[in-house]
A and B are shown apart, each in its own frame.
Chain A
Amino acid sequence: MLPVVVVHGGAGHIPKDRAEASTIGVKEAASTGYALLQRGGSAMDAVVEAVALMETNPRFNAGLGSVLNVKGEVEMDALVMDGTTLGSGAVSAVRRIANPVRLARLVMEKTNHLCLTAEGASKFARSMGVPEVPEESLITDYAKMRWKKNLEPDANPNGNIACATSTGGMLNKMEGRVGDTPCVGCGGYADNKVGAVSPTGKTPEEASDLALRYMKERVEGLGGVVVVNPNGTWAARFSSLQMSWAAAQQSQLHFGLFHVVALPNCGKDHLPQGQ
């Protein structure tokens, strides 16, 4: 069983001039998360830090760089889930918070609930001393051109699994629109006991492809997933044109953008030593 951190920066169409920055961003997030694991951090620590990095990175549709709703505002959703206990925390349609994934983690750790929405989420943030940031500080010039999601499941040496997801949602969405991201079982799920001995016997890759094909055929929806099982077997699969992703395992950093592996934006790097 090998520890692994897998991240993605969104499935969809990534314009050429943004591709490099997106690939660098996911590689950085995966490396950071993995380094945390190597230093003895938990799976939850690793996913939260990796996603928080992508929220701070203006290149991704999460936190700073989120797409705007129909009113030009930023409303964000985030989810964390712990595969050991099935503990989970989520926020939906939250405004003026720099790192929704951290707030989602606080929901999990400091309340008896799993999800807080909108005004209630802001009220909770204030009670936790999480600072409110100006709306403008989350809006980039490029905000209207993007739609991405960040998702990161990973496994640490103890075989514990966690996932985290964060998004600004859909461009021009209605106010108060909530997507899949903060919904347990849709935007993410983590269970230490699933996948190691699967009742249907599918590998992460097979399961992902089957599920994506079903979504395409049944409701004409495209998307992508990153998946890991408790053994450390991982997959990054997508039915959309592109998905930037990176996986850190042992001393290797795998990454990709297109379906065909042999393009310049894909490949393997060696992770820096001593990190």
Chain B
Amino acid sequence: MWQEAEKLFVVNKAASSSHENKLMKTVIVVHGGAWDVPDAAAEATVAGVKNAAQVGDTVLRSGGSAIDAVERAVRCLEDDPTFDAGHGSVLNAAGEVELDSLIMDGKNLAAGAVASVRNIANPVSLARAVMEKTDHVMLTDRGAGMFADSISTPLAHDLVTELELEEWEHSNSYRDGVKRFFNTNRGHDTVGAVALDSFGNVACATSTGGIRNKMVGRVGDSPIIGSGGYADNGSGAVSCTGHGESILKVTLARLILFHMEQGKCALEATNMSLQHMFDRVKGCGGAVVLSSTGEWAASFTTPRMAWATVTEDTLHHGFNQREHFTEKL
């Protein structure tokens, strides 16, 4: 263990910036979903991502792991009914909440995912349990529920909010269904985070309630490795949001990292990949991205995406296109 830490230290020294104690600078980037966020939700959405980023940063600054940081940050967003994840998730065609989540550790490519789970307040933690307590990477539906039960995860029966019930009834009466959301900027309220810890490890996590009025059992990109997220110490970490079906078709997370492996910076890789997704399958979305050296990007092709980054005692955040605010912490 000590030897391994030493080896990381030597590698990171070349890559890190200026800190005398020679640990990597830490970075966490969080998003609250790429979509046409209505004005009424703007303030809560921005406050939510800023809070989640700071929660994640606290973990990193105290020497915690990237995996711990992304899980904590995403749990905040799942617990916040403003976001389409955990509490506050949109409802499927049957008026129920079905949740998807993914978490991945860039050190050894370990990953855990759950798809179409019900009555779980924090799917990202269940996904982490799949990663750490089973020999598998992904569990779905009934099987995921049985696993949750086997590790004594309490059931949550209060995930359906009044607002979402109203929205669901409204969309039903106008027969909106998913067709209306297909390739548009609506209802893509997935949450996610990427982090780089002081040991040089990266991780990602993504969580969602999916698309409003989706078919029962519909699984989008969020729990799918390479699409909803990916993390590899060798290249970086990504968490995606947007039209799930489009993200899957271009394996967006892996595509972004591929471009970084070919030498593009994080922002260029993200923009090229989002452009490709639009050109090839007419899909819009966004991503938060980290390279293995701590370079970060938050970019989106929808009108809005609330994002926040904490690194080197500074909070960066944005919401509308081309916004980038900074605050000293």
- Chain A positions within 8 Å of B, measured between CB atoms, are 75, 85-88, 90, 92-93, 111-121, 123-124, 173-179, 183-186, 189, 199-200, 218-219
Contact = CB atoms under 8 A, between A and B. Distances in A.
Given A92-B140, A117-B140, A185-B251, A174 B224 contact: no
B116 interface: yes
Interface of B: 98, 108-109, 113, 115-116, 134, 136-147, 178-179, 182, 214-220, 224-227, 244-245, 248-251, 254, 262, 280-281
Contacts of B262: 199-200
A108 B242 CA distance: 19
Given A116-B217, A185-B226, A93 B140 contact: yes
B115 A92 contact: yes
A219 B108 contact: yes
Contacts of B143: 75, 93, 118, 174-177
Given A86-B281, A176-B147, 8 more contacts: A88-B248, A92-B140, A116-B218, A118-B141, A120-B98, A178-B115, A183-B224, A184-B224
A201 B180 CA distance: 40
A103 to B, nearest CB: 12
Contact of A176 (B139, B215, B216, B225): B139
**Which of A113, A116, A124, A179: most chain B CB closer than 10 A?**
A113
Nearest to B214: A113
Contact of B249 (A114, A117, A174, A199): A114
Given A116-B218, A186-B226, A189-B251, A176 B182 contact: no
A121 B140 CA distance: 12
B249 A118 contact: no
Contact of B141 (A93, A184, A186, A199): A93
Contacts of A124: 215, 217
Contacts of B220: 113-115
Contacts of B144: 176
Q: Which of A92, A173, A184 neighbours the largest number of chain B CB atoms within 10 Å of its CB?
A: A184
Given A92-B115, A114-B249, A183-B225, A175 B218 contact: no
